[in-house]
Chain A
Amino acid sequence: MITGPIKFKEAARRNLAAQDLRENLRRATSHSTTLRLKAVSAVPEWEDLRSEAHAIKKEAIDHLAEYLERFESQATEAGCKVYWAETASQAAEYVVNVCRQKGASLVVKAKSMTSEEMELNTALEGASIQPVETDLGEFIVQLAGETPSHITAPALHKSRTQIGKLFSEKLGMNFSDDPKELTRAARAILREKFMDAGIGITGVNFAVAETGSLVLITNEGNGRMCTTLPRTHIALMGIEKVIPRFDDLRVFLKLLARSSTGQKLTSYVTILNGPREARETDGPEELHVVILDNGRSQLLAHPHTREALYCIRCGACLNVCPVYQRVGGHSYGWVYPGPIGSVITPELQGISQAQELPFASSLCGHCSAVCPVKIDLHHMLLWLRKSAVDSALTSRGERWIIKLFAATMKRPGLYRWSGMLGWMVQRILAPRGKGLRVPCWSAGRDFPPLPKKSFHQLWEEGEIN
């Protein structure tokens, strides 16, 4: 839940000025985009795969109720307990209740953005249940008392020195800024937590309607730990995670890792069908699946932004976004940053809560060009801008300027006259041969000088032959 409108502009200005953050962001995003480009260029049928994935997602979202029900019945048949939550707090309550019922005091969590939406850690702590984030990035972020700044690389805003300091401060180890050493330290601490935890909580990358399978895509092995050691596994998924057929995985597996980390496949793809069976020696005895709406169904009703539900959370659009690269994930004010965040935050939280976000883009379209499921992100921002205007959320001053602008452009005489007026103002105020100082422009850039004659004048005077 966000309280009050997101102040993107303010946060962005602050983050833009933080030099070390800029450097951390630059390093991480340029690394990821380079790896992605390399991986993608090696697949000649990439564009076809994108179209195929788009079509599959379209099919799933167009028939969402049906596929979710089918998933539910298959998963239930396999022994899962399925719970449908309309709101984030309902979902959190359900999870807390399961933990209580199992008498669990320690919960291990694999990375799940859905759980961030639910503010699950706060809910668990409130019930005296200790949640431990086990994805290295999430572990770092949790230690620091922060939230993830990226959907696949939660601690990308931190440098190794910052992490080293954090570890020595919070974990009492000797300072080291060696990523390997830091990783090993986290491994040792978390290994014990995995052994002791009564509950494992994970997200879900794909839920297969046809077979009731849950598919988890991970690299570190913490997802496997969470679904192997604790006696109860709770999987959290947004309603959009369902795909029709098992066979559809072929397409998504080819797209997801390449888009996200430039790998052909992540280290682990885990496909779960129900809890452990009687003859198995490990795996959870109970598997709960929480299907969360939390405003997503509203997206269904909006024809121009509905396709945002196709998102497979690869993070590619964040990595290539020139705005994200400079202001970082925390500027976006809620769980989902970057271009996809600028689209879904206003939709899930209400446009009045996030009206600055759709405008925080140069509309360069790089996001749409890399999106593995071909979501037309930057064009959606345009529709959201319209919806901000239609809901009268833009400032009175701006509305007035646009009206004046349109009125001028509708009258060629007035248009020309204001051009000449501009030139005269410039002659009086600006040094010779220089442009005017213009507010909101000239702090870091020079404004171009207006020429004495416009093209129109030159044409009229016969100077163009």
Chain B
Amino acid sequence: MSLPAKDSRSLLLEKLRRFSRPASPLSEPPPKNDTAQPGRAPQIAVREAVNEETISQLAQELKRLGAELRYVAGLENLSAAILQLGRESHYKRIAVGADPILKEANLATGLQNFQDFKLILSDRTPTPANQIREALSKCQLGITGCDAVIAETATMVLSHAGFGGRSISLLPECHVVVAYRAQVFISLDDWMNSQSFTRATLPSCTTFITGPSRTADIEKVLVTGVHGPLRLVLMLVQGGD
């Protein structure tokens, strides 16, 4: 493949420089220490004291988006909650990510009796990518944790590195996000203020999920469930602080 890559690059930059202003101190992004946090471990943000008002705003917003909210009294009740959801909706195949919160809930044991098929992902098993994806595409339920939940917009922040990847929250029919109550932030600003974003700390993929996938491409009629999940459930676990 022979491409004139360098040529078009320098030609283009030359053109741009002609009409760009010269560098000014203002234009330098504020210096960030790229090596401050080695590795790209996703930062699990944990915040204290979330009040009832915030939670009820979150509930309202989720409802508006056509997403669901279920409260779970404690981590020990999580598998029961998931089993119930599975039974209600006749889901037969389930995939569980390798997020710490899910491991801690010991879902591997808790979901033992799940109907037909369960796929417990681990960040250590080097399963070939295409096998995982085939399996995930057949699952009706995909369970993940998240970095944070934003009440104002009912957004869940997921950084996918390692914990079952990007597919588990995308391919199954229904995506269940498990979060501690203490992971709820009031606004996106609020959450962003608690983080530092540098090239070194940002994982390869971060997704803000706000409701199930949707479209209005046909006569502006809102249809939920296009390519991504048809259904989105947030399981909010008491505690975490």
Bound Cα distance from A281 to B212, whole angstroms: 23
Residue of B nearest to A275 (CB): B204
Bound Cα distance from A272 to B219, whole angstroms: 32
Task: Give the total number of A-B pairs whose CB atoms are below 8 A apart.
Answer: 260
Contact of A323 with B by CB under 8 A: no
Tell me which of A28, A209, A271 has the highest count of chain B C-beta atoms within 10 A of its own C-beta: A271
**Chain A residues within an 8 Å CB radius of B115:** none
Instruction: List CB contacts (< 8 Å) of B159-197 with chain A.
Output: 160-162, 164-167, 170, 188-189, 192, 197
Q: Verify B27–A59 contact, CB threshold 8 A.
A: yes
**Chain A residues within an 8 Å CB radius of B202:** 211, 213, 246, 271, 273
**Chain B residues within an 8 Å CB radius of A158:** 218
Q: Verify A90–B8 contact, CB threshold 8 A.
A: yes
Q: Verify A283–B32 contact, CB threshold 8 A.
A: no
Contact of A253 with B by CB under 8 A: yes
Bound Cα distance from A31 to B221, whole angstroms: 10
**Chain A residues within an 8 Å CB radius of B32:** 210
Q: Mark B134-167, 1 if CB is under 8 A from A, else 0.
A: 1001000000000000001101000011101111
**Chain B residues within an 8 Å CB radius of A213:** 199, 202
22 contacts between A and B (CB under 8 A): A63-B23, A78-B199, A160-B218, A179-B218, A209-B29, A210-B199, A213-B199, A213-B202, A220-B227, A221-B227, A225-B227, A228-B205, A247-B197, A264-B152, A265-B188, A267-B212, A268-B213, A281-B132, A281-B167, A283-B160, A293-B15, A297-B15
Interface residues of A (CB under 8 A from B): 24, 27-28, 31-32, 59, 62-70, 74, 77-78, 83-86, 90, 93-94, 97-98, 100-101, 134-137, 140, 153-156, 158-160, 163, 179-180, 182-184, 186-187, 190-191, 194-195, 209-213, 219-222, 224-225, 227-229, 239, 244-247, 250, 253, 261, 263-277, 279-283, 291, 293, 297, 300-301
Interface residues of B (CB under 8 A from A): 1, 3-5, 8-9, 11-13, 15-21, 23-24, 26-27, 29-30, 32, 40, 61, 121, 123, 127, 129, 132-134, 137, 152-153, 155, 160-162, 164-167, 170, 188-189, 192, 197-199, 202-221, 223, 225-229
Beyond the given A268-B213, A297-B19, could you list 20 further A-B residue pairs with CB under 8 A, ordered by the A residue number? A78-B199, A78-B204, A90-B4, A97-B3, A101-B1, A136-B215, A140-B218, A183-B225, A219-B226, A265-B155, A265-B208, A273-B203, A273-B204, A273-B206, A280-B165, A281-B127, A283-B204, A291-B12, A297-B12, A300-B20
